[in-house]
């Protein structure tokens, strides 16, 4: 018999009203030390079709990301990005439980100068927080 996952103390379902969002790759953020789509004046935002409220953050500085433009034969401009391992705590704005895998595998980056997320920026992994 296969189980879907480890049991939670107190019988809590697999899903919660709070998620820890961790970036596995650098994430482009127009607002600096905030997750893509959030800023100092905007602590609520939409990710994956749900509205979230930013509760806490743990990150260390920034990393510079760039590359080489083959078509123009020159370096792409450097952009500041959230470093891999940056963690953000998000609360569900409507208070409804969310599956733990609701945000897993999404690429969450602000589109800066049409730099696409498919280049590997902002790969996110989410976990249930109590």
Say what the pLDDT of residue 115 is: 59
Predicted TM-score (pTM) of this structure: 0.76
The two tokens of residue 42 are: 């905007």
d(CA 109, CA 129): 23
Strongest mean pLDDT among 5-19, 63-77, 116-130: 63-77
Q: Is 11 left (phi over 0), alpha (psi -120 to 50) or beta?
A: left
Q: Is the pLDDT of residue 19 over 70?
A: yes
**Annotated domain spans of the chain:** 13-129
State pLDDT tens for residues 74-87: 998 888 889 999 99
DSSP-based three-state secondary structure for 36: coil
The domain made up of 13-129 has a fold known as Immunoglobulin-like (2.60.40)
Q: What is the mean pLDDT of residues 107-117?
A: 68
Nearest to 80 by CA among 66, 101, 97: 66
Rg (CA), the chain: 17
State pLDDT tens for residues 46-61: 887 788 899 999 998 8
């Amino acid at each position: 018999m296969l189980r879907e996952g480890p049991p939670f103390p107190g019988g809590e379902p697999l899903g919660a009203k709070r998620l820890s969002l961790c970036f596995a790759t650098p994430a482009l953020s127009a607002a600096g030390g905030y997750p893509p789509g959030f800023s100092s004046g905007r602590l609520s935002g939409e990710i994956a079709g749900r509205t979230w409220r930013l509760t806490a953050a743990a990150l260390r500085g920034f990393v510079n990301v760039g590359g080489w433009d083959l078509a123009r034969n020159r370096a792409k401009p450097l952009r500041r990005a959230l470093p891999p391992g940056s963690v953000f705590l998000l609360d569900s704005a409507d208070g409804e439980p969310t599956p733990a895998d609701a945000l897993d595998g999404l690429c969450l980056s602000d589109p800066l100068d049409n730099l696409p997320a498919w280049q590997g920026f902002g790969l996110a992994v989410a976990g249930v927080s109590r």
